[in-house]
Structure 1
């Protein structure tokens, strides 16, 4: 793909103190769909995910498990690698912050910041949340009746006093605000941009970026009594993966700045304040966009271990199917909003959207072609206004989908696709090809051709969301792997009459509730 357009996107790197849940699967799924779309649209894509493995929280978890931190992270990081296979993600790289390439990269960034006068040695005294790996001001905390200090996230904070290196974040307040003004789409959705700008306008304090009270982290160059604050360490993964500190050629020159960092809303501040400030202070370009999506609740309740309602992605896939899970997560709620997972909503999507609408369209059209057209693509005659209207809506899909995917509106992509599925189902009913078989077989052939060509467009455009199911649909239409890129959309890649088609198979089975004894 030499000379082609590039697209670099990242998930947050996931913290290895837990096992993957629906939230982790959701973030990486959104990136996977975007990466697959961009590849089909001719981009040279770099898609990164990985694990964040340093910090006090990991050290404590390893101690509780009775193992060394490295052994602990080796085991838990593997859970996130396994998620890649389970969910059929197409990432190009998987980074771990314990890798030598990352340690080299973070220490190089630290040295560069220090050389540019952006870091100084002082001492820190304040409230720190081990769970959040974040510092909080007194005004952000609430006090329980027993005197415990609680962060806005619900995490308990402890008072910390120790020597610390500081990053001159306060000096970047005006420059950050100017950057946000000049790049209005740097933070999406827009409501999150307003939130970040309000926080920055309220004033930024210098940021403590080293710790001395524990050891599980990357040593500060030249002062190994200090280890780096986990967020400076973690955020740097995005440039490590493209070869930093080598900036003159190779992947860094090719892919940086990243086109998109996808994050959960709880880590928005780190990505939109600290990260661009670190980069600009080092004389490096900030990413082009940070998109903060919402959280999932389960049957109307917040996910929590104590409630026992944390859903493992494996449970979803085993219960409902992989393609069905991928579809549901991106269709059920507007991307960027909070969403609720419920069994009933999932079953409704599977049986309504997938089995009844899309699956039934494919099955009945291809079955009619198999029975009445010699199991080959029919020969179309002249197109009527109704034919042109349906084909026109199919041909227009790419522009609509491209526009929505570029602002990460995955739900609107699916709305557009299902609008055409609805049009096609209505067209079947209006044209009644089963009746035309007796009265006008040539017209029947045209109707079935128009429907097969519409399904071809749907099959190509649903590939990023449901790659395996879409591949089956395209196989049923006799479309080989070389015929599935976006360059084949429109009349130029149209089905060729007479192409033999395989026996149709159902693609989206209905979900049937197990009988209760």
Structure 2
């Protein structure tokens, strides 16, 4: 059963001249959590990720590696697929800009823009950064370098231009009419201020290198990487066939998730391209922050680039997923520290969530003949606890619609904290001796609360949540958000497996 509007979420497509690192894992993880959440809501979801494989940087990296660009892209793109598998991402499609479907879509939007008078031939002279794939005005240079610190070179060549200047006012009107289009608020203000300061026409083709999508009817030119790259979002829903089922269902995209460094391309150039081609802009673009490592900027020269595979090997997959979503307000910059990782694992996961599950299920196993307890009449305290877990859904939904992942997890952990206090207050180990019927009701109330919490933690920690639901005897087809209430409650007398710990405490090997 499908409820709610279809939901289309995208990661940026990752540039293949580099190995995947924690930043790539972070962006895609945020999208994965949202995609899983929306599927549990019963919505039709399309979750897209992929790789950006054209441009001068790739051509140069391939030359340096002594291979042709396509072979280079094939190898590096696979690294991003491997990361998606390792992180248990649930994407529906993985797009590569070297695929025939994408080349066709890119040339189609070019032809549409040209037919509408939005592209013209001129010549370009200016400062260009290969690393950023971006042109910079003299006024933007800092000490002879790009504002990002990248080297720039003077480029003069014939170029096709997109009439970006014509879209300054329509863009400002779009931002005003759709206040949620760019988030967080600080980034929205930056974009509005950039557009208000004036837009110049944008160079959208190059002739000085050859690795890219050929410009239709002028093969001396290739499409400038940003027009090609951004088009991936509509390629994946069937463009140029705007009457296709996928396009009509999923476009405009619900959310483009990007790093703050590429916000301008997604919040200025992309909506302008789309409007100029007669297409709707996406509904929302969210720019998240960057990770530093133990207080230092991540860089290859410092040797502190965090490989997500190493983190998973060291700490386990779901604890890494939890930490990345919980540690930092999404949208802010964050610092990755091993000490904080262990603190979250041993505090939030082992002591709070894991300990709650383990001690409740152990008591059920011992006191209730390894079956779901049969409750008697519920008291106010029992109803309050179970109700707080059932009430999580609208709270978490609203927070995730704002991409406030850390606050969504805080709300879930408030219920976990309440359940731990309830165990101590009710003392089922004492009730077992003096009032076994009441003891069974308390254990049932706890098990039912854990069930509801585990349903809610599935988007963040799918494997650990599944393990908890398995131990509660919850059927695989009764784990959606429609099953949160009493109608899908635990069935008394259900045989339960022997409980096993889900979140072991982490001891660093050298300290063991």
What's the TM-score bracket when you normalise by the shorter of the two chains? over 0.9
- Structure 1 unaligned regions, length at least 5: 144-148
Aligned residues: 512
2:344 maps to 1:344:
no
Q: What's the CA shift string for 1:473-498, capped at 9, x where partnerless? A: 00000001111011100111111111
- Structure 2 unaligned regions, length at least 5: none
Where 1:125 maps in the other structure, the secondary structure is: strand
Where 1:223 maps in the other structure, the secondary structure is: coil
> Structure 2 matches for 1:301-316, cutoff 5 A?
301-316=296-311
Say what the alpha-carbon RMSD is for the aligned residues. Answer: 1.0
> Structure 2 matches for 1:394-405, cutoff 5 A?
394-405=389-400
2:101 maps to 1:106:
no
The residue that corresponds to 1:59 in the other structure is 59
The residue that corresponds to 1:118 in the other structure is 118
**1:5 shift after superposition:** 2.9
With over 3 angstroms needed to count, the CA separation of the structure-2 counterparts of 1:440 and 1:333, relative to structure 1, is same
Where 1:85 maps in the other structure, the secondary structure is: helix
2:239 maps to 1:244:
yes
| TM-score normalised by the chain length of structure 2 | 0.99
Distance 1:87 1:271 in 2: 26
2:494 maps to 1:495:
no
Distance 1:386 1:111 in 2: 66
The residue that corresponds to 2:415 in the other structure is 420
The residue that corresponds to 1:74 in the other structure is 74
Where 2:393 maps in the other structure, the secondary structure is: helix
> Structure 2 matches for 1:358-437, cutoff 5 A?
358-437=353-432
Distance 1:282 1:493 in 2: 48
Native 8 Å contact 2:3 2:43 kept in 1: no
Distance 2:213 2:358 in 1: 57
2:509 maps to 1:514:
yes
Distance 1:142 1:179 in 2: 32
2:42 maps to 1:47:
no
Native 8 Å contact 1:211 1:227 kept in 2: yes
Q: What's the CA shift string for 1:23-45, capped at 9, x where partnerless? A: 00000000001000000000010
The residue that corresponds to 2:88 in the other structure is 88
2:193 maps to 1:198:
yes
> Structure 2 matches for 1:256-335, cutoff 5 A?
256-335=251-330
Q: What's the CA shift string for 1:77-103, capped at 9, x where partnerless? A: 000010111000000000000000000
1:163 to 158, 167, 176: 158
| TM-score normalised by the chain length of structure 1 | 0.98
The residue that corresponds to 2:465 in the other structure is 470
The residue that corresponds to 1:151 in the other structure is 146
Distance 2:198 2:184 in 1: 23
Q: What's the CA shift string for 1:302-337, capped at 9, x where partnerless? A: 000110000111000001000110000000001111
Native 8 Å contact 1:5 1:42 kept in 2: no
**1:515 shift after superposition:** 3.0
Distance 1:38 1:3 in 2: 10
Q: What's the CA shift string for 1:328-365, capped at 9, x where partnerless? A: 00000011110000000000000000000000000000
**1:3 shift after superposition:** 8.2
Distance 1:337 1:325 in 2: 18
Distance 1:265 1:249 in 2: 32
**1:249 shift after superposition:** 2.5
